[in-house]
Each structure stands twice: as C-alpha cells, then as structure tokens.
Structure 1
Amino acid sequence: MSTPVLVIGNFNYSSWSLRGWLALRRAGVTPDLIRLPLDTPEFHEAIRRHSPTGRVPVLHHDDVTVWDSLAIAEYANEIFAEGSLWPAERVARAEARAAVAEMHSGFAALRAALPMNCRARGRRVETTPPVAADIERLQALWGDALARHGGPGLFGPPGIAEAFFAPVALRFRTYGIAVQGAAGEWLARLLADEDVQWWCAQAEAEREVVAAEEVGA
C-alpha cells in the first residue's frame, strides 16, 4: 500500500484536521500532509481538487478518498490498526463510540465560543450558560469514563476517543479551564502526548492569523 496523504488546514486552528491526523498516528501511520491555510485564496482555489465537500480533513490512500474526521478514524482503525483503536471489551467499545459520536456532533456552544488556538495561552472569554453546560458535560463524561474503565485512556488503552477529545484539551489549556481529579490527570497526559506536542510545534511555526479564530483577551 502507498503512504496515505492527508489534506489538512492550519495546524493552529483546524481541530478536525488534528482529529483525523491523531487517529492515523494512533494506528501507527505517518501520512504525507498537504496543508491548505484556512480562510485564504489558496484554500478556496485548491480544496475542491482534494475534497468533495470543500472541507478538511480528507484522506487519499491508493484508490480511496475518505472525507470527514470520523470516517478517517474508522478507516485508520480498519486498514492500519486491525480494530485496536476501539476497546476490545464490548461495553467499553460501545461507550467509546457513543462518546466520540457525541463529540463529533455535539458541544456546539463550546466549539463556537472557544475555537482551537494552539499558540494562545491565558485567553479569557465570557462563559455563557450553554458553554458552561458543555464544559460540565465534558468533565462528567471524562470522569465517568475513567472511573468505569480504569485508564490510562478514557476507555482503557488510548484510541480514537483521545484523538477526538485532544482539540478540547487544547481549548481548555488556551482558555484556562481547570479540570480536577482523574480527569485533570488524563487531560495532562493527553497534552503531553508526543503527537499532540508535535502538532503544537507545527502550529507555533505557522504565521497565518485567522482573525475570527482569535478570541479572548
């Protein structure tokens, strides 16, 4: 098989690109990357050549094109990881899938108000009731999963769930949202993960600024 090619947006801002890339890395794959800076003429000129939806991420592998981060994660799990990115145990696997699906489709208030910004620290944004509810739900989800399944990942060995919640961990760091107990320890481990650290280093080296994503003071 050829080396997969993953088309991504900015390292600093593109949370869905990070999810797709981390899922591949969890599967032991280092894809070639095509980076298209968001909100630029270059992006709009090039993206349709790579993605049928006009969005990132999108994966090209041999004769297959896979768009959407969750589909990319499932492809990585099936083709490269022999199913190991989901828990082996039935209950843990079902709960992990539910949590990832919730992240994929939910937490809209938090994602809109607190965009991923890997470079930023100490940002302060007004916490509206919907954002506070999302934060409370995330902390409950993480704490319950760790208590039920014993770590070190949310559902046992780290897998797709960690790939999907990593951008939230980075948001919590950027906007100074404290997490206590086992969930806080898990969050620290996730932020210290070598792949997350590599991604953040690429973000630090970028020079593009997307004004709409620069929130807080």
Structure 2
Amino acid sequence: MAQGQRQALTDIVVHSRLNDGTAVCLRTITPDDAPLLRAGIATLSAESRYLRFFSPAAVLPEPVIERLVDVDGHDHIGWGAICTECAGEPAIGAVHAVRDRHDGPVGEYSVAVADAFQGQGLGRMLTAALLIDCRAEGLEALDLHVLSENGAARHLVKSLGATWKGESAGVADYRLDVAAALAALRSDGAAQGVQDVFAQLAG
C-alpha cells in the first residue's frame, strides 16, 4: 500500500455507537497505547483473559504488552476501541492481525472485548476495521486459534464464513478469508456500528 494511503487510513478515527447506544471510537493502536492496553486487560474477568490469552493471569508479562502495541500497520495491524462517554475514556476492545512472515498473505487474528461491553456488536465493528486494513495491506487470509469453550468467538468467526481446519488439545483452528468476511459484514445492514465502520473507512 502506498505510504500516503496508509497515513490516511491510520489518521481516521471511527465514531459510532454500540447496540445499546454507548458512544465509542475506533482507531489504530500505537506503541503509546501500552498503558491503555495494560489497564484494559486488568479489567477483564479471569474467564475473558483465559479465553483471549489462554491464561487467567491479571497482569501479563511486559514483553506480551510490548508485542501487542508493536503495530507497524503492515506485518502487524491493530485496532482498538475507546468508550468516549465513560470516565477516563478507557480501552474496551482490541483486535490484531499478525503476519506469519514478512509480506506474507496470511496472518493470525485475535480479538478481545471488555466484559461490560460484550454482546453489543463491538467485536464485529473492530473486526470490520481490521479486515478493511488487512485488505489494503495485502493480507488475504487470517488464521484463528480458539478455545473450544469460547462459544462467542466461534459464533463470530462462523458468521464470517471461517473454515474449520481442525481441533487439538481443546483448541479449534479456523481460517478466515478476508474478502469473504468483509462481504459478510458489509451485507449486515442491521448492524449500524459495522456500517459506520465501512462508511468511514471504506467509503
């Protein structure tokens, strides 16, 4: 992607509302977001931390935090969500795609949403922003590793047309086609937050 296009996309802050009317903004993650991300992870329930990081630890090792904010917009793409009407404007969700090799067409997808905001469409909004960015950066597919008991994540990826690749030791593996998933999200006219993402990022 041309540098000018990349700069234009990273400059965009998507303003929208969750299904319950909560005002949020979505933007790309930067290294300066480490404190926000650290605080957001600390607010997750032990179950949510386990489902996202495969560990219930309340405090993640600093190298993990550093990797999560080491976003370059090409080999590692990351978007975060802020509750703009909450005190302190906390981070309430994040989504990542990390290439399996430099400039490769496949990456690994992960998403987390704060407990108090789950079930309000934020995961789909973040995923839409991420996939629009992935398409612009030449990523064609994303692999997902989901704990078998994570019903919400499995429902999300299946709704986006992900292909089940297998299961081992309680972890299910899926592959998501970026173009097909974007088409599925764009066709969901009832999801106003998702449509706001497309309107503001993809035109």
TM-score w.r.t. the length of structure 2 is 0.35
Larger Rg: 1
Question: If the length of structure 1 is used for normalisation, what is the TM-score?
Answer: 0.33
User: Which is richer in strand?
Assistant: 2
